Amino acid sequence: MSIFAQFKAKNWIGRRIQSVLKNKKITILTILILISGFFFYIQLLTIFPKCFANDYESEGYLKHEREWVAKIDYIESIAKKQQEEQKKIHSIDIKPEVQKIAERENFMGTDVEEQIYNLVGDAPMKEMVPSIVKLDQRVAAFVIGIAKKESDWGKHAPSQGGMTCYNYWGYKGSGSRGTSMGYACFGSPEEAVEIIGKRIGTLVSKNINEPRKMLVWKCGSSCAGHDPGGVQKWVSDVNLYFSKVMQIQKT
C-alpha cells in the first residue's frame, strides 16, 4: 500500500472515531436528559397529590369548623333567649300578697325571734313574739313600735274581769271578748297580733309605711285638735323601736 493510501486510510479511521465519539456524547446527553425527566416526573407525582390532599384536608377542616361555629351560635341563641325570658319574669310586678310572703320569709327565723325577745325583755308582750315574727318585717316593726308607745309593751293595758285584754295598741275595734274601757278585748296573744297585724298591714299597703305617716293610728283622719308637741313625741317614740326592728337582719 502506498503512503498516500495509508494516509487516506488513517484519515478515514480518524473521522470515524470522531464521529463515534460525537455520537456517544449525544447519546449520553440524551440518556441524562431522559433520566432527569424521569426523576422530575416522579417528583411531580409525589408533590401534586400531596398538595391536593392538603387542599382536601383544609376543606374538611373548614367544614368541621363551620359546623362547630353553627352549633355554638345555636347554643348562644338559646342561652340569650333564656336570659330574656328570665328578665321578663323578674320584670313582672309582684302581687302584694306574694311580696308580703317574701318579706315574711326573710324576717322569720330563730335568730330574729331571739333579737325580738331581747328587745321587749320581760314585758307582757314577750308572749306575742312567736306570732310577731310571722308578720312581714315592716308590719312587725309597727306592731312593736306602737305597742311600746301606747302601753309600754303591755304594762298599761285594758283588762276585763281581772284578765288582760292583750290590747297593747289602743285599738278601739272589738275582739272575741268584746270591748273593755272603750277598747277591743282579745281572747289571746295570737288573736291580738293577728287582728292588729292585719289592720297595720292594710295601712302599709296604702303607703302608710313610716311612723310620721302612721299618725292616722293616733289621730284618725286629722291631728288638728291634738297638741303638736304630743303628736311629734308620738312619732319619735314609735320611730325609735320601729327603726330597731327594721334594722334586724336574718343571719
The lowest-confidence range among 34-43, 137-146, 232-241 is: 34-43
**Between 22 and 101, where is the model more confident?**
22
Q: At what angle do helices 137-151 and 189-205 cross, to 10 degrees?
A: 120
| Domain boundaries along the sequence of the chain | 1-92, 96-246
**Between 58 and 113, where is the model more confident?**
113
**Between 12 and 212, where is the model more confident?**
212
CA dihedral 208, 171, 194, 192 (to 10 degrees): 150
Per the document, the length of the chain is 251
- Tell me the per-residue pLDDT of 168-195, one tens digit each, with 9 for 90 and over: 999 998 899 999 999 999 999 999 999 9
For the chain, what is the mean pLDDT? 77
**pLDDT on residue 188:** 97
Burial class (CB in 10 A: 0-12, 13-18, 19+), 72: exposed
2: its cell numbers? 502506498
Residue 80's nearest CA partner among 68, 88, 69 is 88
CA distance 108 to 139: 13
Residue pair 250/140 in contact (Cβ under 8 Å)? The answer is no
Half-sphere exposure of 3 (CA within 13 A, CB side): 0
Pairing mode, if any, of strands 159-160 and 163-164? Answer: antiparallel
CA distance 64 to 35: 44
pLDDT higher than threshold 80 for residue 71: no
Residue pair 143/193 in contact (Cβ under 8 Å)? The answer is yes
Q: At what angle do helices 228-246 and 137-151 cross, to 10 degrees?
A: 140
Q: How confident is the model at residue 239 (pLDDT cuts 50, 70, 90)?
A: very high
* For range 68-82, the mean pLDDT: 62
The 3-state secondary structure of 112-139 reads: HHHHHHHHHCCCHHHHHHHHHCCCCHHH
143: its cell numbers? 306592731
pLDDT higher than threshold 70 for residue 228: yes
The lowest-confidence range among 55-64, 186-195, 206-215 is: 55-64
**pLDDT on residue 92:** 44
* For range 41-69, the mean pLDDT: 50
pLDDT higher than threshold 70 for residue 9: no
Q: How confident is the model at residue 203 (pLDDT cuts 50, 70, 90)?
A: very high
CA distance 5 to 118: 152
Q: How far is CA 249 from CA 35, 94, 120, 143, in A?
A: 95, 22, 17, 18
**Between 36 and 61, where is the model more confident?**
36
Q: How confident is the model at residue 153 (pLDDT cuts 50, 70, 90)?
A: very high
Residue pair 155/166 in contact (Cβ under 8 Å)? The answer is no
pTM for this structure? 0.59
Residue 168's nearest CA partner among 128, 208, 211, 202 is 128
Report the chain's C-alpha Rg in angstroms: 53
pLDDT higher than threshold 50 for residue 55: no
